[in-house]
Amino acid sequence: MRSEIQKKTKGSEQPQELNNSFLAECAWEVCNQLGGIYTVIRSKVPEVSSQWGDRYCLVGPLVGQQVNAEVDVITNHTGPLGKAVKKLKDDGVEVVYGTWLVSGRPKVVLIDVLSTLKDIASIKSDFQKSHQIEIANDELQEKVLAFAHITSVFYTYLSEALGKTKLIGHFHEWMSSIPILKLAKNKVAVKTVFTTHATALGRYLAMNDQDFYNKLEQYDWSLEAQKYNILPIAQIERQCANESTVFTTVSDVTASECQAFYNRKPDVITPNGLNIERFVAYHEVQNLHQEYKEDINEFVIGHFFHSTPFDLDNTLYFFTSGRYEFRNKGYDITLEALSLLNKRLKKEKSDKNVVMFFITKRPSWSINPVVMEQQGVLEEFRKVCHAIQDQIGERLFYDAAQEEEDFRMPALNDFVDDYWKLRYRRVLQSWKSDQWPIVVTHNLKNDDDDEIIQYLRKAPLVNNPLDKVKIVYHPDFIDSSSPLFGIDYNEFIRGCHLGIFPSYYEPWGYTPLECLAQGVSAITSDLTGFGNYLGQNFSGHEQSGAYLLRRHKLKPELVVKELAEMMYQFTQSSRKQRISIRNKAEDLAENFDWSRLEAHYNTAYTQAI
């Protein structure tokens, strides 16, 4: 199967219609790691650069000092792009022009917005007169408008410098899209493509209305946007969707929102891909899983074994991660399903254990001192054990070398000094405790209002020694500097067995795809863009470790039962079955490489010109 997929994903060719075109792609996340759109932009750069070459650049705001480490500055302002940058600099605008130091090495133009903010009052006034959108006294909205003001000038200069070469301006999300309106008003020779990755209104409504999908056509978008204080953002999205030459979104799920809120059906669906080559390990996938699982084992031993040891060979690591949106991300039904799973495994007296990790970002003071102390004592315990091991090994060898005829194994205890015996007893005594393992690893700033904590206390799922499902709530993102894990997020994923992402609102959803690309099984839902695309295009995806939870038009209690059943069935799989699925998961993920999915954007660009 793999060779067949590789043949398909080797690389897609650019349509001939685009040969005399220049693509300038604009996003707030260019060289600015904020969220999912940064992943979209950066991961597809190698494929876009290979197709467009010097006829491609990225445009974004000049944000933060990290730009100095990410961009190799170009001082020679030649060619149409260099000339447009020079004109902007001649206008007194600070611009960083260079090569983005990522795979594909695209040209980037980063525009400073701070110098323009001094004129923001007149810019806001002109914008309101031209488009009937009143920008709030909000720092982000004002920066977005200032960026749009300068960026539209840059696109005008670039269009003039290109001459007969057609210019395509591709704008992602509302924060970069306002130039579409200004360019259309001024009749600049730019064909515009607007991609929305999620509607601002949809995200708010989904968080607050359990019947969101059934009521899409009933909402008054303007009234709802005012209710949630996002009217200017909703107006920008709606006008840009209708003023752009071509309008795209990332999934059929989001397309329904666009039709309801923007009154325009997207011209092209542009699903999100990944640069799969960064993730796949082929024959190493099992070795890497074992390696990073050992790192997670280290944490689990330190966190749980001081009071409630259990068999790690019969333990599975589940996890979920993402923004803290309790309902939209499906944390609510995940917790309910875990409670059902725990009761079932206890009732069956199962020998299986599940450690469930919740990885998200929440305000906290620090890592809980008790958690740090347990990990520290465990490390000291390990040092003592290694010292004893070294001493026994050295003395056993020396004793055996002198032995002439007696081949009996000596009493190994006699080879250990009293000093190390005492150290061993003391460190073991200081580590062992009757206190149940802590659920949350950090001191939250407001744990009384934390919905995950509230549910765990109510269920209860509080790491009772009798529970078969253990909980680790880690309210911070994982990276290699973490004193608790010492590995980065992707390595953590590889060490786990199952990712659980049953989102209620997720226009696309990268997390299950990232799991599959690393050989880790994942649960997604049919309300996510990725899950919807998976269900429509890949029959038999369950055999590749991609499990699709039905949520559309189902009552929550039925969804919870089905999710609990999926989790239970996974606990019943054998190690041999899980090893087989790892390779199949990688194979399935290769269908989402940008070498295949960039063709959807090429369709949009072709339509635009």
**Cα separation, 466 vs 245, whole angstroms:** 61
Query: Is there a domain that residue 5 lies in?
Result: no
Which mean pLDDT values do the consecutive 10-residue runs of the chain (609 residues) have? 37 83 96 86 95 96 79 93 96 94 94 86 94 92 95 98 97 97 96 96 92 92 96 97 98 96 97 88 86 95 92 97 94 98 97 97 93 84 81 76 67 77 80 89 93 96 96 94 90 97 94 95 97 94 96 94 98 94 92 95 97
Query: Is there a domain that residue 2 lies in?
Result: no
**Cα separation, 23 vs 15, whole angstroms:** 14
Pairing of strands 107-111, 95-100: antiparallel
**What pLDDT is stored for residue 475 in this prediction?**
96
Count the neighbouring beta carbons within 10 Å of the beta carbon of residue 220: 9
Question: How does DSSP classify residue 506?
Answer: B
**What pLDDT is stored for residue 9 in this prediction?**
41
Q: What angle do CA 526, 527, 530 make, to 5 degrees?
A: 70
In total, how many domains does the chain have? 3
**What pLDDT is stored for residue 2 in this prediction?**
36
**What pLDDT is stored for residue 362 in this prediction?**
95
Burial of 347 (0-12, 13-18, 19+ CB in 10 A): exposed
**Cα separation, 77 vs 98, whole angstroms:** 10
Q: What is the CATH number of the domain that holds 310?
A: 3.40.50.2000
What lies within 8 Å, CB to CB, of 136 at 6+ separation is 232
Final residue in a domain of this structure, among 431, 453, 470: 431
Same domain, residue pair 317 and 405: no
Tell me phi and psi for residue 594, to 5 degrees. -60, -20
Same domain, residue pair 199 and 224: yes
**What pLDDT is stored for residue 447 in this prediction?**
87
Same domain, residue pair 269 and 375: no
- What would you report as the CA-atom Rg of the chain, rounded to the nearest whole angstrom? 28
**What pLDDT is stored for residue 10 in this prediction?**
46
Same domain, residue pair 97 and 152: yes
**What pLDDT is stored for residue 65 in this prediction?**
65
Same domain, residue pair 67 and 170: yes
**What pLDDT is stored for residue 20 in this prediction?**
95
Q: Provide the 3-class DSSP secondary structure of residue 217.
A: helix
**What pLDDT is stored for residue 66 in this prediction?**
65
Same domain, residue pair 31 and 157: yes
Same domain, residue pair 475 and 406: no
**What pLDDT is stored for residue 6 in this prediction?**
37
Same domain, residue pair 473 and 486: yes
Domain of residue 312, residue span: 277-368+438-592
Query: Is there a domain that residue 574 lies in?
Result: yes
Same domain, residue pair 256 and 155: yes
40 close to 272: Cβ distance less than 8 angstroms:
yes
Tell me phi and psi for residue 28, to 5 degrees. -65, -20
**Cα separation, 308 vs 436, whole angstroms:** 7
Question: How does DSSP classify residue 91?
Answer: T
Burial 183-208 (b: 16+ CB within 10 A, else e): bbeeebebbbbbbbbbbbbbbbbbbe
Same domain, residue pair 233 and 282: no
Same domain, residue pair 497 and 565: yes
